[in-house]
Amino acid sequence: MRTVSAIATPLRRLRPATARQPSRRHFSSSKDLQATWGFIGLGRMGFAMARNLRAKLPAEDTLFVQDVNTAASKQFLEENPQGVRVADNVREVAEKAETVITCLPEPQHVRGVYKQMLEPATLLSEGVNNQRLFIDCSTIDPMTSASVAESASSTKQGVFIDAPMSGGVVGAQAGTLTFMIGAAPEAVGPATSVLSMMGKRVLHLGGQGAGLKGKLANNYLLALNNIATAEAMSMGIQWGLEPKALAGMINISTGKCWPSEINNPVPGVIEGSPASRGYEGGFGVALANKDLKLAIKSAKDSNVKLALADEAQALYDKVEQAENCKGRDFSVVYRYLGGKE
Cis upstream peptide for 105 (omega within 30°)? no
When the beta carbons of 23 and 108 are compared against ligand NAD, the nearer one is 108
In this chain, which of 26, 35, 37, 41 binds ligand NAD, going by CB under 6 A? 41
Least separation, in Å, of the C-beta of 34 and ligand NAD? 24
The answer to whether 331 contacts ligand NAD (rule: CB under 6 A) is no
3-state secondary structure 167-229: CHHHHHHHCCEEEEEECCHHHHHHHHHHHCCCEEEEEEEECCCHHHHHHHHHHHHHHHHHHHH
Give the DSSP H or E segment for 322: none
Q: Are strands 84-86 and 99-102 parallel, antiparallel or unpaired?
A: unpaired
Nearest residue to the partner ligand NAD, using Cβ: 43
Name beta bridge partners: 136: 102, 162
Instruction: Please choose, out of 54-62, 101-109, 192-200, 217-225, the segment that lies near ligand NAD by the rule CB under 6 A.
Output: 101-109
Tell me the C-alpha distance between 37 and 126, whole Å: 16
Of 195, 172, 219, which is closest to residue 4 (Cα–Cα)? 195
DSSP-H helix ranges across 119-209: 123-126, 142-154, 168-174, 185-195
Q: DSSP label at 331?
A: G
Looking at beta carbons only, is 185 or 272 nearer to ligand NAD? 272
Task: Check residue 69 for interaction with ligand NAD (CB under 6 A).
Answer: yes
Identify the active-site residue in 96, 200, 213, 215: 215
The residues in 279-298 that bind ligand NAD, with binding defined as CB under 6 A, are 287, 290
**Does 46 help bind ligand NAD (rule: CB under 6 A)?**
yes
**What single-letter DSSP state applies at residue 268?**
T
* Region from 98-106, 235-243, 308-316, 333-341 binding ligand NAD, contact rule CB under 6 A: 98-106
Nearest by Cα to 16 from 143, 127, 110, 156 = 156
CA dihedral angle for residue 259, residue 264, residue 266, residue 270, rounded to 10 degrees: 180
Nearest to residue 103, comparing CAs of 164, 160, 168? 164
Q: How far apart are CA 248 and CA 199, in angstroms?
A: 32
Check residue 228 for interaction with ligand NAD (CB under 6 A).
no
| Choice between 103 and 247, CB closer to ligand NAD | 103
Minimum distance from residue 95 beta carbon to ligand NAD (Å): 15
We find the least distance from the C-beta atom of residue 232 to ligand NAD, in angstroms, to be 26
The verdict on 111 binding ligand NAD (CB under 6 A) reads no
Rounded least distance, CB 341 to ligand NAD, Å: 24
Pick the closest to residue 145 from 234, 232, 215, 226 (CA basis): 215
Task: State which residue, 57 or 104, has the beta carbon closest to ligand NAD.
Answer: 104
* Residues contacting ligand NAD: total by CB under 6 A: 27
Q: Which stretch binds ligand NAD (CB under 6 A): 56-64, 152-160, 165-173, 246-254?
A: 165-173
CB of 243 to ligand NAD, least distance (A): 27
Q: Is residue 215 annotated as a catalytic residue, yes or no?
A: yes
Of 160, 139, 127, 130, nearest to 41 by C-alpha is 139
Q: Which residues are part of the catalytic machinery?
A: 215
Catalog residues that contact ligand NAD under the rule CB under 6 A.
40-46, 66-69, 72, 90, 103-105, 109, 112-113, 138-139, 165-166, 168-169, 287, 290
